[in-house]
Amino acid sequence: MKNIALPVRFGIVMSALLIAFFLIVSLFGWHTNPLFSLFNGVVTGFGIYETIRYYKLEQGENFTYTGGITVGLVSGFIATLLFTVFFLFYATEIDSLFLSKLLDQYGGDYSVGVGLVTFVVAIMGFATTVVLTLTCMQLLKNSNNMP
Protein backbone atom coordinates (compact mmCIF):
# COMPACT_ATOMS: atom_id res chain seq x y z
CA MET A 1 0.00 0.00 0.00
CA LYS A 2 2.84 2.36 0.82
CA ASN A 3 4.37 1.88 -2.64
CA ILE A 4 1.23 3.03 -4.44
CA ALA A 5 0.44 5.97 -2.14
CA LEU A 6 3.16 8.24 -3.54
CA PRO A 7 2.15 8.13 -7.22
CA VAL A 8 -1.55 8.32 -6.32
CA ARG A 9 -0.93 11.42 -4.23
CA PHE A 10 1.11 13.09 -6.96
CA GLY A 11 -1.42 12.03 -9.62
CA ILE A 12 -4.26 13.67 -7.71
CA VAL A 13 -2.25 16.87 -7.27
CA MET A 14 -1.32 16.92 -10.97
CA SER A 15 -4.95 16.47 -12.00
CA ALA A 16 -6.01 19.25 -9.62
CA LEU A 17 -3.44 21.56 -11.21
CA LEU A 18 -4.56 20.59 -14.72
CA ILE A 19 -8.21 21.22 -13.83
CA ALA A 20 -7.39 24.53 -12.14
CA PHE A 21 -5.41 25.69 -15.18
CA PHE A 22 -8.26 24.69 -17.50
CA LEU A 23 -10.81 26.57 -15.41
CA ILE A 24 -8.63 29.68 -15.17
CA VAL A 25 -8.07 29.69 -18.93
CA SER A 26 -11.79 29.14 -19.50
CA LEU A 27 -12.55 32.28 -17.48
CA PHE A 28 -10.83 34.27 -20.21
CA GLY A 29 -12.40 32.24 -23.02
CA TRP A 30 -9.07 30.81 -24.12
CA HIS A 31 -9.89 27.17 -23.33
CA THR A 32 -10.79 26.48 -26.96
CA ASN A 33 -7.34 27.53 -28.18
CA PRO A 34 -5.24 24.36 -28.56
CA LEU A 35 -2.04 26.30 -27.95
CA PHE A 36 -2.83 26.54 -24.24
CA SER A 37 -2.92 22.76 -23.94
CA LEU A 38 0.88 22.79 -24.28
CA PHE A 39 1.01 23.96 -20.67
CA ASN A 40 -0.61 20.64 -19.71
CA GLY A 41 2.66 18.99 -20.74
CA VAL A 42 4.60 21.33 -18.49
CA VAL A 43 2.38 20.50 -15.49
CA THR A 44 2.47 16.79 -16.23
CA GLY A 45 6.23 16.77 -16.81
CA PHE A 46 6.94 18.64 -13.59
CA GLY A 47 4.61 16.32 -11.65
CA ILE A 48 6.18 13.17 -13.06
CA TYR A 49 9.68 14.52 -12.46
CA GLU A 50 8.85 15.34 -8.84
CA THR A 51 7.19 11.95 -8.33
CA ILE A 52 10.24 10.07 -9.55
CA ARG A 53 12.65 12.38 -7.70
CA TYR A 54 10.77 11.96 -4.43
CA TYR A 55 10.61 8.18 -4.96
CA LYS A 56 14.36 8.13 -5.59
CA LEU A 57 14.96 10.03 -2.34
CA GLU A 58 12.75 7.56 -0.45
CA GLN A 59 14.44 4.51 -1.93
CA GLY A 60 18.05 5.67 -1.69
CA GLU A 61 20.37 2.89 -2.83
CA ASN A 62 17.39 0.62 -3.57
CA PHE A 63 16.14 2.89 -6.39
CA THR A 64 15.68 1.00 -9.63
CA TYR A 65 14.87 2.09 -13.16
CA THR A 66 11.78 -0.10 -13.12
CA GLY A 67 10.54 1.44 -9.89
CA GLY A 68 11.01 4.95 -11.25
CA ILE A 69 9.19 4.13 -14.48
CA THR A 70 6.34 2.57 -12.51
CA VAL A 71 5.73 5.53 -10.20
CA GLY A 72 5.97 7.96 -13.11
CA LEU A 73 3.48 6.04 -15.23
CA VAL A 74 1.04 5.47 -12.38
CA SER A 75 1.03 9.14 -11.35
CA GLY A 76 0.60 10.31 -14.94
CA PHE A 77 -2.14 7.80 -15.71
CA ILE A 78 -4.07 8.77 -12.59
CA ALA A 79 -3.79 12.47 -13.47
CA THR A 80 -4.91 11.71 -17.03
CA LEU A 81 -7.90 9.65 -15.92
CA LEU A 82 -9.09 12.26 -13.43
CA PHE A 83 -8.64 15.12 -15.90
CA THR A 84 -10.44 13.15 -18.63
CA VAL A 85 -13.42 12.57 -16.32
CA PHE A 86 -13.47 16.29 -15.54
CA PHE A 87 -13.19 17.15 -19.26
CA LEU A 88 -16.15 14.91 -20.06
CA PHE A 89 -18.18 16.49 -17.26
CA TYR A 90 -17.25 20.00 -18.39
CA ALA A 91 -18.05 19.36 -22.05
CA THR A 92 -21.44 17.79 -21.30
CA GLU A 93 -22.73 19.49 -18.17
CA ILE A 94 -21.02 22.84 -17.63
CA ASP A 95 -20.52 24.22 -21.16
CA SER A 96 -22.52 22.29 -23.73
CA LEU A 97 -21.25 24.58 -26.53
CA PHE A 98 -17.62 23.92 -25.66
CA LEU A 99 -17.19 21.09 -28.15
CA SER A 100 -18.51 23.09 -31.10
CA LYS A 101 -16.35 26.09 -30.14
CA LEU A 102 -13.31 23.82 -29.84
CA LEU A 103 -13.88 22.20 -33.23
CA ASP A 104 -14.45 25.59 -34.89
CA GLN A 105 -10.80 26.37 -34.10
CA TYR A 106 -9.79 23.76 -36.68
CA GLY A 107 -11.85 25.36 -39.47
CA GLY A 108 -13.45 22.21 -40.85
CA ASP A 109 -16.84 20.63 -40.84
CA TYR A 110 -16.21 17.99 -38.22
CA SER A 111 -19.04 15.80 -37.09
CA VAL A 112 -17.59 14.20 -33.99
CA GLY A 113 -19.17 13.58 -30.63
CA VAL A 114 -18.02 14.27 -27.14
CA GLY A 115 -16.99 10.63 -26.72
CA LEU A 116 -14.40 10.79 -29.48
CA VAL A 117 -12.96 14.09 -28.25
CA THR A 118 -12.78 12.72 -24.70
CA PHE A 119 -11.05 9.60 -26.02
CA VAL A 120 -8.50 11.77 -27.83
CA VAL A 121 -7.89 13.77 -24.63
CA ALA A 122 -7.23 10.51 -22.76
CA ILE A 123 -4.90 9.14 -25.46
CA MET A 124 -2.96 12.41 -25.57
CA GLY A 125 -2.59 12.31 -21.78
CA PHE A 126 -1.40 8.70 -21.79
CA ALA A 127 1.09 9.35 -24.61
CA THR A 128 2.39 12.46 -22.85
CA THR A 129 2.80 10.45 -19.66
CA VAL A 130 4.82 7.71 -21.33
CA VAL A 131 7.13 10.11 -23.17
CA LEU A 132 7.70 12.38 -20.17
CA THR A 133 8.28 9.44 -17.81
CA LEU A 134 10.96 8.05 -20.09
CA THR A 135 12.48 11.53 -20.43
CA CYS A 136 12.52 12.14 -16.67
CA MET A 137 14.08 8.74 -16.04
CA GLN A 138 17.00 9.70 -18.26
CA LEU A 139 17.68 12.55 -15.87
CA LEU A 140 17.13 10.60 -12.66
CA LYS A 141 18.41 7.09 -13.36
CA ASN A 142 21.45 5.78 -11.56
CA SER A 143 24.49 5.91 -13.80
CA ASN A 144 26.89 2.97 -13.98
CA ASN A 145 29.58 5.06 -15.65
CA MET A 146 32.95 5.24 -14.00
CA PRO A 147 34.03 8.73 -12.84
Q: What is the rounded distance in angstroms from the CA atom of residue 112 to the CA atom of residue 128?
A: 23
Q: Is residue 71 part of a domain?
A: yes
Domain residue limits at 96:
2-27+37-140
**32 domain-assigned:** no
pLDDT tens, 33-78? 778 888 889 999 999 999 999 999 998 888 889 999 999 999 999 9
Contacts of 45 (CB under 8 A, 6+ apart): 132, 135, 136
For residues 78 and 20, give the distance between their C-alpha atoms in angstroms, rounded to a whole number: 16
Residue 59 lies in a domain: yes
Q: Is residue 146 part of a domain?
A: no
- Grouping H, G, I as helix, E, B as strand and the rest as coil, residue 101 is helix
The tally of domains found in the chain comes to 1
Structural domain contains residue 43: yes
Q: What is the pLDDT of residues 9-28, one digit of tens each?
A: 999 999 999 999 999 998 98
Q: What pLDDT does 1 receive?
A: 45
Q: Would you state the pLDDT for residue 99?
A: 79
CA atoms of 125 and 79, how far apart (whole Å)? 8
pLDDT at 98: 78
How many whole angstroms separate alpha carbon 81 and alpha carbon 58? 26
Residue 10: inside a domain: yes
pLDDT digits (tens, 9 = 90+) for 88-130: 999 889 888 777 777 776 666 667 788 888 999 999 999 999 9
Is 86 a residue whose pLDDT tops 70?
yes
